[in-house]
Structure 1
Amino acid sequence: MEFGIHTFVWNDGQSQKDIEQAMEATRAAGYAVLELPGLDPARFDLAGLVRRAEALDLKLAASAGLPPACDVTSPDPETVRRGEAFLLEAVGVARDLGCSQMSGPIFSAHRKFDTLPDRDGWQRSADVLARVAGVAKEAGVALCLELVNRYETNLINTVAQGLAYIADTGSDNIFLHLDTFHMNIEEADPVQAIRLAGRHIGYFHVGESNRGHLGSGCIDFAPVFDALLEAGYDGIVSIEAFNPPALNDHLKAVCAIWRDVIGDNAAFARHARTFMEMQHEAALRRAAAYGGA
Structure 2
Amino acid sequence: MGRLGIHSFVWTGGQTQAMLEDAMEKSASCGYKLIEFAYLRPEKFDLDRLARRAGSLDLDIAVTMGLPFSHDVSSEDPETVKAGERMLADAVRAVRDIGGSKLGGILYSAHAKYARMPSRAGWDNSVAAIARTADIARSAGVDLVLEIVNRFETNLLNTTAQGLDFIAQTGSDHVRLHLDTFHMNIEEANPAAAIRLAGDRIGYFHIGESNRGYLGDGVIDFDRIFDALLDIDYGRDITFESFSSAVVDESLSLACAIWRDTWTDNMPLAQHARRFIDLKMDEARRRRATNARA
TM-score interval, normalised by the smaller of the two chains: over 0.9
Instruction: Say if 2:44 is the partner of 1:43.
Output: yes
Answering whether residue 113 of structure 2 is matched by residue 108 of structure 1, we say no
RMSD of aligned residue pairs (Cα, Å): 1.1
Q: CA deviation at 1:43?
A: 1.1
1:77 Cα deviation from its structure 2 partner: 1.4
Deviation at 1:135, TM superposition (A): 1.2
Partner of 2:173: 172
The answer as to whether partners of 1:112 and 1:150 remain within 8 angstroms in 2 is: yes
Residue pairs, 1:1-293, within 5 angstroms: 1=1, 2-293=3-294
How many angstroms apart in 1 are the aligned matches of 2:121 and 2:235? Answer: 36
Decide whether the 8 Å contact of 1:10 with 1:243 is kept in 2. Answer: no
> How much has 1:248 moved relative to structure 2?
3.0
Structure 2 contact 17–45 (Cα < 8 Å) conserved: yes
Taking structure 1 as the reference length, the TM-score comes to 0.97
In the alignment, is the contact (CA less than 8 A) between 2:185 and 2:220 conserved in 1? Answer: yes
Counterpart residue identity of residue 223, structure 2: A
Q: Which ranges of structure 1 fall in alignment gaps of 5 or more residues? A: none
Deviations 1:52-106 (A, max 9, x none): 1111122211222112211001122111111000000111111122222211110
Aligned-partner Cα distance in 2 for 1:159–1:119 = 19
Q: Secondary structure at the match of 1:65?
A: strand
Residues 42-51 or 248-257, more deviating: 248-257
Question: Partners in 2 of 1:101 and 1:207 — Cα distance?
Answer: 19
Q: Which amino acid aligns with 2:32?
A: Y
In 2, the alpha carbon distance for the partners of 1:250 and 1:92 equals 22
Distance 2:141 2:25 in 1: 27
In 1, the alpha carbon distance for the partners of 2:32 and 2:128 equals 36
8 Å contact 2:6–2:239 — kept in the other structure?
yes
Check whether the contact 1:242–1:257 (CA below 8 A) recurs between aligned residues: yes
The 8 Å contact of residues 246 and 264 in structure 2, kept in 1 or not, is answered as no
Greater shift in the superposed pair: 239-248 or 211-220 = 239-248
Q: Please say which of residues 8-17 and 84-93 is displaced more in the overlay.
A: 8-17
Unpaired runs of 5+ residues, structure 2, are none
Aligned partners of 2:244 and 2:260 also within 8 Å? no
Letter in 2 for 1:246: V
* One-letter amino acid of the counterpart of residue 154, structure 2: T
Give the drift of 1:12.
Answer: 1.8
Tell me, in whole angstroms, the C-alpha distance in 2 between the residues paired with 1:10 and 1:128.
Answer: 33
CA shift in 2, pair 1:189/1:50, >3 Å: same
Structure 2 Cα separation of the partners of residues 113 and 221 of structure 1: 30
Query: Structure 1: which amino acid aligns with 2:199?
Result: G
Q: Is the 8 A contact 2:60 2:101 kept in 1?
A: no
What TM-score does the superposition give when structure 2 sets the normalisation length?
0.97
Is 2:72–2:84's contact at 8 Å kept on the other side of the alignment?
Answer: yes
Distance 1:6 1:180 in 2: 14
Q: Is the 8 A contact 1:143 1:175 kept in 2?
A: yes
Post-superposition Cα deviations, 1:162-197, rounded to whole Å, max 9, x if no partner, equal 000011111110000000000000000000000001
Q: Which residue identity does 2:197 align to in structure 1? A: L
Letter aligned with residue 78 of structure 1: E
| Equivalent residues, number | 293
Structure 1 residue 231: deviation in Å? 1.1
* Superposition deviation, residue 250 in structure 1: 2.2
The answer on whether the counterparts of 1:105 and 1:147 sit within 8 Å (CA) in structure 2 is yes
State the distance in 2 between where 1:121 and 1:265 align. Answer: 40
Q: Choose 244-253 or 254-263, whichever is displaced more.
A: 244-253
Matched to 2:220, the amino acid is I
SS of residue paired to 1:148: coil
CA distance in 2, matches of 1:197, 1:228: 10
